[in-house]
Amino acid sequence: MMWRWQHWMVVLLVTVAAVSGNNYEGLAGHQIWSLESELAVELVDQLQAQGLLDVVAHTERTRTVRVTPEFASLVQKELHGAGHNYSVKVEDLAKHLQKEKDEKTRQIHRAESCTATSCPFPLTYSYMTFQQMEWYLKELAKNPWVEVRSIGRSILDRDIWMVHIKSGECKGRKELYPNRCRRRASSKPMAVWLEGGIHAREWISPAVTLQLIHQITKDCCVTQDLDVYVVPMANPDGYVYSWTTDRFWRKNRRSNSGSTCDGVDLNRNWDYHFGVGASDEPCSQVYKGTKAFSEPETQALRDAMLQVASKGNLKLMIAFHSYGQVLMYPWGWTADKAPDQQDMVRLGKSFVMKAKSNYGTHYRVINAANDFYFASGSTDDWSKGVLKTKYVYTLELRDEGGHGFDLPATKILPNSMEVLAGLKAVFRKIISKKRTTNTVVL
């Protein structure tokens, strides 16, 4: 991820203007520090694992961190003790964000909104609250070719919704069935699994995932030979908390016994080489939890994925995150090669080519452990290692660090459209590969 500080300073808080509560209060006195020395990287990552700071952006050689008033002097001591300097980029994050929000609120263009209890379309000019998402999903479920099902409940008892856009349901939908639709294959349709919103603060992830659902539902060509399963919001409690209380909240809302810090990183809680590149410390942003699948959210996702995979045709899994514009393939837990690496890279490149064609946005295909960082207990490694899904990715959406997690809502549509283009190319490839029984080279 590239962090362009000068851009961050002009973060447009279009996204949070509609927040009724003040989700910056918890950030009072928090500071943003920048460490430009490669030598500091290891220590900073250790301090993150101990829960003493939050890495909010990084390149291979630099780290940008958020430090709370509680640990500021301790972190300073550790850094200075090891001979590392840092520069303070923001003195008080709450004041900084509030100021920007006030400045921008006046300019907000709210072209669309949900009515009292209904959202016929996922919003494109503002991020949706969890409630608005539920209203949209309720509307969506009226389509006979779509099933919307709760696969479980979060720790604070919110539903985790899964959308199934069923294959081969073009009958009676002629207007949505253009001539260019290819003939339906006679054999069993393939399945793909898309996961959004596992990290609360990555608001663009559920926003894009909902747009994908909307677009795919309208285009039955895509699902002629494909069952598309999507969980647009895997961490509803964390998401709600990032709206009401702390915009940079990442984990779920587990109250950790024996600790004053809440939350488990759901992308460190899956049972595949659980514990590598994750923390034992509940205060850490990457806290893995007391044991693998300790969290109801990961249990629900696991069970639903197992059910889909048990039908035998799960070919592709993509987990949507932000930010960085990279398409990562496993493993994340080891630098060793995962099965099908070459095929994953090839298919990834088809995604990248198509995703670039709309707005010129460039995504890089990289390996999670070697080119990003070591981290296990994530959806991707579990899907590859346990379900043996052939094509597995984590997609870090826009941007490259200019706005980071606080991506302006005006980017929802372009980000979604380019991802849709890339995704359709990927779908076409896996389906045509099946049609021609292994003769197509990806």
Closest CA to 305 of 414, 201, 403, 381: 381
What whole-number distance in Å separates Cα of residue 354 and Cα of residue 361? 10
Question: Any contact of residue 332 with ligand 0X9 (CB under 6 A)?
Answer: yes
Question: Any contact of residue 321 with ligand 0X9 (CB under 6 A)?
Answer: yes
In the list 328, 344, 347, 419, the residue contacting ligand 0X9 (rule: CB under 6 A) is 328
Residue 394: which of ligand 0X9, Zn ion, none does it interact with, CB under 5 to 8 A by kind?
ligand 0X9
Taking the least distance from each CB to ligand 0X9, the nearer of 136 and 405 is: 405
Taking the least distance from each CB to Zn ion, the nearer of 127 and 145 is: 127
Residue by residue, DSSP assigns 221-251 as TTTSSEEEEEES-S-HHHHHHHHHT-TT--S
Q: Report the nearest approach of ligand 0X9 to the CB of residue 404 (Å).
A: 10
Where are the strands (E) in 285-343, listed by range? 314-322, 326-329
What whole-number distance in Å separates Cα of residue 279 and Cα of residue 16? 30
Question: Any contact of residue 279 with ligand 0X9 (CB under 6 A)?
Answer: no
What whole-number distance in Å separates Cα of residue 433 and Cα of residue 430? 5
Known catalytic residues are 396
Only segment of 8-16, 63-71, 87-95, 371-379 that touches ligand 0X9 (CB under 6 A): 371-379
Q: Report the nearest approach of ligand 0X9 to the CB of residue 172 (Å).
A: 40
Question: Any contact of residue 380 with ligand 0X9 (CB under 6 A)?
Answer: yes
> By the criterion CB under 5 A, which residues form the site for Zn ion?
199, 202, 321
In the list 124, 209, 378, 415, the residue contacting ligand 0X9 (rule: CB under 6 A) is 378
Residue 381: which of Zn ion, ligand 0X9, none does it interact with, CB under 5 to 8 A by kind?
ligand 0X9
Closest CA to 138 of 104, 111, 115, 170: 115
Contact 166, 146 (CB under 8 A): yes
Question: Any contact of residue 368 with ligand 0X9 (CB under 6 A)?
Answer: yes
Taking the least distance from each CB to ligand 0X9, the nearer of 189 and 289 is: 289
Closest CA to 159 of 334, 301, 306: 301
Where are the strands (E) in 77-127, listed by range? 87-90
Residue 208: which of ligand 0X9, Zn ion, none does it interact with, CB under 5 to 8 A by kind?
none
For the chain, report the end-to-end CA distance as a whole number of angstroms. Answer: 28
Taking the least distance from each CB to Zn ion, the nearer of 226 and 397 is: 397
Taking the least distance from each CB to Zn ion, the nearer of 223 and 269 is: 269
Where are the strands (E) in 282-375, listed by range? 314-322, 326-329, 364-367
Buried b (16+ CB within 10 A) or exposed e, 192-216: bbbbbbbbbbbbbbbbbbbbbbbbb
**Residues contributing to the site for ligand 0X9 (CB under 6 A):** 199, 202, 267, 321, 328, 332, 368, 372, 375, 378, 380-381, 394, 396
